[in-house]
Amino acid sequence: MANELRFLVVDDFSTMRRIVRNLLKECGYSEADEAEDGVAALNKLRNSNFDFVVSDINMPNMNGFQLLAEIKKDEKLKHLPVLMVTAEARKEDIVMAAQQGAAGYIVKPFTKATLEDKVTLILTKMGLK
Amino acid sequence: MNTTPIISPAGATTISTPDVHRMIGALTRQLHDSLNGLGLTEKVNAWADEIPDAKSRLSYIARLTGEAAEKVLNRVDLAKAQDDYIAAETRRIGALIVKDPVAAVAKGHVMNFLSDVERSTKEIDGHLTEIMMAQDFHDLTGQVIAKVVNLAAAIEEELVRLLVLTAPAHLPAEATPAATADKAAPHGPSLSGPVVNPEGNPDVVKGQSEVDDLLASLGF
């Protein structure tokens, strides 16, 4: 079942999008698309079906917090788990992300094991794994 | 006092050293008055605080890129050693099979070789993953570079404004503040980005375990 899940990776750096997609693939999640900022992500989320969002925070046009808020106030999208993967290491940012409904928070730089653990934990909590 | 005359490059005008000192003094006074008049004194003070921070950020970039390069080269060395091993073993087993195929299988050489290949390829895959992960420096340093560029752009913008406002009237204003204004803050709302000096800063986490602890303490 896990292999059929569709991920959306949101980050303004193409290198990081590629790294996260490759890591997800190594973890068995080969269905992944990508977006370069919150605006592009929201367009894709509203026009296609996804099961999981992995998002950076510091992005142009629409940052990760704004994207998270848009997802959580959209009836059709609010069920989606959003895992923040970011260099923002301020405690207030982490608390804010949790309060806004983020499913998890990873600080960069991170390891493959951390990403795999968080994704598995979130999917398990949601009964998807 | 030294009154050695100074000859201009064109050789047309001779200026004495006291005159130069007076001119520098006048320019300094004009600059000081202009900075005050334009309300830039506070900004200059802020820049004085930010420039050491920019130096730390540039050091952070140098450290991160250096570590990434080191990590990649180390992993390439390990992967190449594994690759060399597989190549040598393939030649050795090939020779054994050509010499006596039945014995090569019966004595377990072929099965041992297959096990070795499987183990080595798994290890090489691990090295490749680490090489891929090492590229995350691009994202982290990119964010830090953007902050330093923003600082430089802000300083440039104000200096150009100062130059335009204090330049003699007959000189054309080639550069205007508007020309540089659009360079600032490309990333929208203010976020702190990568933490360059986390030590001794209680407001930031120093790693994933602290993130997990913080979220757990909040019941997440």
Q: Could you tell me if B198 lies within 8 Å of chain A, comparing CB atoms?
A: yes
pLDDT score of A51:
96
What is the rounded end-to-end Cα distance, in angstroms, of chain A? 7
Domain-embedded: residue A13: yes
**Least confident interval from A49-53, A60-64, B32-36:** B32-36
Nearest-CA neighbor of A85 among A62, A60, A61, A59? A59
Q: ipTM of the assembly?
A: 0.78
Which pTM does this prediction carry?
Answer: 0.71
Please report the DSSP string for B80-110 in residue order: HHHHHHHHHHHHHHHHHHHH-HHHHHHTTHH
Question: Tell me: the pLDDT tens digits for A78-101?
Answer: 999 999 999 988 999 999 999 999
Domain-embedded: residue A129: no
Nearest-CA neighbor of B131 among B69, B83, B82? B69
Domain-embedded: residue A109: yes
Question: Tell me: the pLDDT tens digits for B22-34?
Answer: 777 777 777 777 7
Domain-embedded: residue A50: yes
Mutate to test the interface with A, among B191, B199, B210, B217 (most CBs of A within 10 A): B191
At A7, which CATH number? 3.40.50.2300
Note down the domain range covering A109: 2-119
- Do A19 and B214 count as a contact with CB atoms less than 8 A apart? no
Q: Could you tell me if A51 lies within 8 Å of chain B, comparing CB atoms?
A: no
Q: Name every chain B residue with its beta carbon within 8 A of the beta carbon of A38.
A: none
